[in-house]
Structure 1
């Protein structure tokens, strides 16, 4: 079996890359170790930057998003009950779109099916070979048989725990990591959202986030110690704690109900450099992880896809490898900007075990600066809505 681009991972980044390349006349094969139902059952982020929205439309996968997605031109920040609003549209002229990653993935699967793209779900024993040569190939097992896939390029879109990054020799990789001493306990409930914009709330009890998926589906989070387990939290306990961390006027109108999904996600900042080795190019979580505070995870993966897609189209249309040679540096420049923003939001809004009075004053000062300074609000709005690709 042969293709031009072998894509490891059938999540949103792998599917989007495949969709864009196929529309440009470049053949792909996507290998995903999980079933399609499993991929579509994962609950992930739901805030899309302006650039992500535009690229989904360009890929022919934005029609349902444009109907069902909810444009947001601001968000709310709270500190121990005191709340103010950041107006993205007024600050930088851009918005974000509330549209769940599960929906994005479904739309991309539908778009791939419509063009007859080749996707192998439940592909096991995937291994990369001769990556640092001009003739890489991938072996895998599917449907009870072993397969070999020859290709020109391999795109590693298989996430933090995938094989792609691990295929780069450890001596050639430099990894940067910050593990945060807490996680987010999140629930999904079929209840009307407490507000029509996201609320990032800091309190002495810890951080809370009020977000939404649609007018009758709410996604809420509270900061918890890493030692907590989902089983430690009943729905009643979650609602009590969540309400206590919100401003009083917001808590008073909170509608509660049974959770339909509940999980705890640890928070980390992680970057692996470089994002290229030979004919292997990393995209998304395979190369970097951001804490969810800044809503950057999926959006960073999309910017990687944009850069890699441009470079591959240049190669196949002109023969120039300049874009591929510059891919890692170009992608990492944007990765580190998003890493800084996510780290700063996380540091500003969470309670850290080691924080003392000085650290608390710094958090208060950062929030006060956002409230009074037009320049500070513009900087936050530019980063939140997404810097141009």
Structure 2
């Protein structure tokens, strides 16, 4: 006879029927849902500071792309609350597995902005040291990073480390088989990994309605026994509260957790995309009114947590960051063609050594 599942067990897995929120679009407080604690005032001030820095980094990177300094740049303007909250919910020993759109999260995590943009400049596949930063390389193929994140979390658990792994993924990535395999494996083996779905409504040009018939992506967790939640992704207070609870859940040995954050990509998919071909300007305007940065600032000012000098200091720091980024990105780099052979294997194969020597000889001949 098949085992019976209690109603309470099923209810425990289900997300809230509507996205969790603490702050309305106008920046006013709403009745907070039970079970979630509001972050401290100090943490919210720090979150605001990081959101200002992230927004300025994003606009500067977009400008550098138009100037030809980057090959491509996928803007995350409008999704900062998800990325900043994700970083703030983690400890130093935890790992982050990002997608190609999560550059703001990397900067917030402390990765040098130049090293963040190295991939998008075309210099290296990954410009920073993942082991030193505990940030995996930004992943361009959809959803493959969630399997990597699950494997890393399993390895850390087996080693006895007090660490949680958070994997970022877009709504389009949830249509990939890797996403479902990762959820199933993580649930079966009770692995300490948090899956954060940034549902920005489009997989490039494909709207959510053409990707899934589920009432929300968060409901996909129940099929694998993964507890889930959905949250207003433009409400940083709510996202940080929900993710903190999800990370605590995973760290305490209760296994994986799935969070769907409802947000919006204000800019095009990348600088190579024409978003006007698949969405109306009125839709963008509607979501612009729900800007996560403006919403947080209004809320914090209203509560007396944020003062004029705090806002000015954050924007001044952001301009310094942008100026430094411009200066260093405008410096031409000298490519070293022999770097092609580095990091292919820990120990180069005889064939790689032979190819490297052949290329070195050809380069030396050109110089002569």
Tell whether the structures are fold-level matches, with TM greater than 0.5.
no
**TM-score band, normalised by shorter chain:** under 0.3
> Structure 1 length as normaliser, TM-score?
0.22
Q: Which has the higher strand share?
A: 1
> Structure 2 length as normaliser, TM-score?
0.23
Asked which structure has the greater RCO (Cα within 8 Å, sep 6+), the reply is: 2
Q: Which has the higher helix share?
A: 2
